[in-house]
Chains A and B, each alone.
Chain A
Amino acid sequence: MTLLRLTLAALLLASGSACAVEFNQFQADRSTLQFVSKQMGVAVNGRFRKFAATLAFDPARPTAATARLDLDLASVDAGSADADVEVVGKSWFNVKLYPTATFVSSAIRPLGGDKFELAGTLTIKGRTHDVRAPFTFSQAGGNGVFDGTFVLKRLDFALGDGIWSDVSTVANEVQIKFHIVAAPAAGSK
């Protein structure tokens, strides 16, 4: 029965009916942006405490969705007090010159079911590169929840130059995990 209802709902949504809901109210306190670096082969967790997302996502029309993320690099928690001081410095983020990193979406395509792919450009430390991130969309408590991961190569963005450019101690690959919660647009439903 539930399945039938879901199927009907999906059909209605897919047909672009008037009951579509656009999620565009970013919920900062429910969203997280974490990363996992590998130091000497050991995964170390970090996160950004301050970031803002501007998004518009209608599950019925995913290809029309847009997303933008601005993150305050100085709000980094790199796993230890030592590392927090180090990564905002010149060899890493150089927050004095480049205080924010920005992601701007270029395309979102459905991969079937609740899976989508987000493509866009990521700019950190004045370097811009294309990124692709698969993500899942779900709804919880009336909010839209976007969960995805992707891997970036830190040296593409000159993160950790000089002595840190040796990837045998700190790996080039850094996994980014985003969990973005957005409420539906006011007045929709």
Chain B
Amino acid sequence: MKRISPSETFMAAITWAAALLTAGALLYIIGFILWRGVPYITPSLFAPVYNSINVSLLPALVSTVMMAVLSLSFALPLGIGAAVYLAEYARRGNRAVRLIRLAAETLAGIPSIVYGLFGMLFFVVWLGWDFSLLAGSCTLAIMILPLLLRSGEEALLSVPDSYREGSFALGAGKLRTVFRIVLPAAIPGVLAGVVLAVGRIAGETAALIYTAGTVAQIPPDVFASARTLSVHMYALSREGLHTNEGYATAVVLLLVVIGINVIAARIAGKIGGAHERV
């Protein structure tokens, strides 16, 4: 009955091929990393101290976690604070709001190497922090700020106004309404932003090489240099001596990122579950 024109079949085939290629590329990368990396995952990779014989990735793994925790602890209060201002306090279409949004969008579009240079000039040189965990995490904090601001603002705006009305109608003030009712309801959305931010932190190299340095150690304090897993991989492949261990590191990095995503989804599900169960 229904006649399908040749051009329609052709277009369908093209979109199908595009979908297949997209999924294929991802699967290929994951498969390739696993194939090259898994055979080289050995206990010595997880030795507590790095040397050129064991090529341990443990210091880098610990540094990555420290970097993520520090960056988030700087960026999260700022990002959420700004998001609360934009979503709850600022009048819609106000000039300051447009300026802040423009600033955030611009920040989001800057290449990470520029952040790295800024971080080096400002934190490393001008403030004299040297290559350090602190300089690196401050640089990354600025980098992930727009992301947290954006996702936080969207999460707040998606909280139904009926919650706010209900709270005001009980005689609660603005502050209590925002922090006891609106913000808790927005947590799943905020966490989604945090997951993306952690992904960026774990994947960043350019901004860190010039701010946190590349010393392969578990940093004794925040003023010590540290290399994250991504920087570690970069160093290994640049040196060209431990390419196989580089692939093994990539496997671990992949697992870490997937792990973080799963945990965050669980937390969001647990908190969000209370909202969605209708």
Q: Does A associate with B in a complex?
A: no
Interface residues of A (CB under 8 A from B): none
B-side residues, CB < 8 A to A, are none
